[in-house]
Amino acid sequence: MFKKIFTTVMVGSVLTACATSPTGRSQIIFMPDTQMNQMGLQTFDQMKKDKPINHDGKYNQTAQCIVQAITQGMGVNWEVVVFEDKTLNAFALPGNKIGVHTGMMQLVDNQDQLAAVLGHEVGHVLARHSNERASQETLVQQGMGLIQQTSYGQNALTMGLLGLGSQYGVLMPYSRTHESEADEIGVDLMAKAGFDPQQSVQLWKKMEQASQGNQPIEFMSTHPAHETRIQQLQAHMPKALELYKQAQAAGKQPKCL
């Protein structure tokens, strides 16, 4: 019964909300982009009020320079803020907002490794991952609501198991897909801008060392394991290196540090 109901909801959503990501992957997206952008703007504004902002000229100039090089020709302005936070993190929000923590700035060895981080975040926005994620969660909630109206919904244990199944069987795998896709989009963006894409692999090796084995197992994580990301990036590297070669030939040699 669950499969039949969920399939009905899924098919209906697919027919009305089909989209394609920059890598050619089929997506289910039905949230208005204007609404997502507004949410991103509000969230970013609140974060700037709640979190201390770093005003170091070197950090800010470097981050801004890299994002400008990566997004050149996109026709939109991106706001980049460096937050005073020791954690190894960066993030992107709909509406072209990017935040990067000082901990990440201090981890990287060069502009190319930071370009891998920021290119990844731009990739999330270009692929509309926040919208897709919100659409997926809405879809799962609709399916669970229908289940509650059946005899299955009378059993609390069954509902708990169904919720667990949707979390690990649908939402998390899709989130790992988003991360891998953002890696691919990001490494292509950095290569096209003239940053060395091979440094993306070095970045994740540094991230793996910094995690000291504390990363949760891949099945129960929203992110791919570090070694998985490295393998995927290495497999994609021939294409990225060709883009890098073309950028170099066109005179694209960013100097952001």
Q: Which residues are catalytically annotated?
A: 121
Rounded Cα distance, 190 and 71, in Å: 9
| Among 198, 146, 144, CA closest to 167 | 144
Residue 227 makes CB contacts below 8 A (sequence gap 6+) with 208
| Among 221, 252, 257, CA closest to 72 | 252
Q: Write out the two tokens for 67.
A: 């994002």
Rounded Cα distance, 195 and 252, in Å: 9
Rounded Cα distance, 90 and 94, in Å: 14
- Residue 47 has a CB neighbour count (10 Å cut-off) of 16
